[in-house]
Chains A and B, each alone.
Chain A
């Protein structure tokens, strides 16, 4: 059997990397936002994206759970309430693998700045809260490239939960974690479930080098912090318009 070209090798093709040092064999960069629902992460990533796009940088935006690949299966599973923690997790992994192999990795190899609204840490937090084994999950997502920066937006549980409850008339069965039998009341179940997810996120601040962002700060201040950090940690000149090294300061 022929061996694939080194540049095509995913780490799912190698023994597990125990050094935890990210190995990047591509010119692109990956910036990720994570946090529980209502933590403000999507707003912040949107603003960062606008800033980069206006500056003429080669960027691509990707979202967790957005491909049509597993949509019908997820719908089928949710409607009949057939999804277990394991199959729920595997379906999301299949969906992510598709995006990873067909979008994220080719773009990173092509020298793009890839912005991801949620990434594998969403699966780690949510699926562990559902009862999956952390070790099993870490292996499952071994093929995913390690981000250059992971911004973790942290808001107190009550603040985040109230933001969601205020804007959504009805919480869905799996979204509220009703399948876990935490509480018969959906809002209460949602609160407990999000609390568990928050705990899992907190555990990853150190193990996965999260950049902690205070989700209670004003939007524009947070955005300024975020832009500064990106300019510091990513060689923006590589992605930019020909001459200009950095986008104009606000």
Chain B
């Protein structure tokens, strides 16, 4: 297929196995989704939803079960991660530029880290996917169709979990962790309120609403992120085990991660 063609739904995957990975729309230049034998699992949720903790635990569990794991996340690309950090620190960047820099960060990781891992049959755990940058840009007034168009060459994940927490609890967790709330986490660029707490709550509520829309559109598996760490982890393992064909979901964290279980 030439890169310019967008296949009609249902046609492109005809020669692939059931359940194989697919692109949302257009294929990336030079990549065929049929050669990807790995599994892509996404964990989404706002700051303070417990994503990173769960990914640490899941990585250990999957490795114990004999699966090779690769991870990805926001601002982790070799190409532009540092540049985005600098732009955020200076906070003079416009929303459109930031949106496109996040897209560059995403595709750099997709092409250089995720696709090679999926080709060799690994399990990719994504600590957020493109849904977070889409939600952040959408609440800043950029049209959803424009955003989803940019990410039309992304892979459709096998499983997407959404750790849903109330903004008030997210605030509490974030504050306990770093004793401060950052400019961007509170959506300060949007002039929502001069009160940091109010600004955070309004901003995170808008993001959460955006996630509800995305959840419907993309079939997220919603998980109560306010439950205890072991309870959330049990739920995640149950779903992932079923997908990967792992029989037993018994797991207890190693001493290094045991603190999460207390």
Chain A residues packing against B (C-beta within 8 Å)? 1, 3-4, 10, 12-16, 69-70, 72-73, 76-77, 80, 82-87, 90-91, 93-94, 97-98, 100-102, 128, 130-136, 139-140, 142-143
Contacts and interface: CB of A to CB of B under 8 A. Distances in A.
Nearest to B77: A87
Of residues B87, B97, B103, which shows the largest number of chain A Cβ atoms within 10 Å of its Cβ? B97
B83 A98 contact: no
29 contacts: A1-B141, A12-B142, A14-B143, A15-B143, A16-B145, A70-B101, A72-B83, A73-B79, A82-B108, A82-B112, A84-B107, A84-B111, A86-B28, A86-B107, A87-B104, A87-B107, A90-B100, A90-B103, A97-B97, A98-B93, A101-B97, A102-B94, A132-B29, A133-B5, A133-B6, A136-B152, A139-B152, A142-B146, A143-B146
Given A72-B83, A82-B112, A97 B96 contact: yes
B26 interface: yes
A130 B29 contact: yes
A69 B82 CA distance: 12
B10 interface: no
B100 A97 contact: yes
B82 to A, nearest CB: 8
Interface residues of B, number: 39
Contacts of A4: 141
**Most B CB within 10 A of own CB, among A10, A15, A16, A136:** A136
Given A73-B80, A94-B100, A102-B94, A136 B26 contact: yes
B3 interface: yes
Nearest to A143: B96
A139 B94 contact: no
A133 B3 contact: yes
A233 B28 CA distance: 41
A14 B141 CA distance: 9
Contacts of B169: none
Contacts of B103: 90, 94
Given A101-B96, A133-B6, A76 B101 contact: no
Interface in B91-121: 93-94, 96-97, 99-101, 103-104, 107-108, 111-112
Contacts of A85: 29-30
B24 to A, nearest CB: 11
B210 to A, nearest CB: 10
Interface string B62-101: 0000000000000000111011000100000110110111
A64 B94 CA distance: 18
A142 to B, nearest CB: 6
Contacts of A101: 94, 96-97
Nearest to A10: B96
B83 A73 contact: yes
B153 interface: yes
A233 B36 CA distance: 53
Contacts of A90: 100, 103-104, 107
A77 B79 CA distance: 6
A82 B96 contact: no
B29 A135 contact: no
Contacts of A77: 79
Interface string B138-162: 0101110110011011000000000
B29 A87 contact: no
Nearest to B203: A1
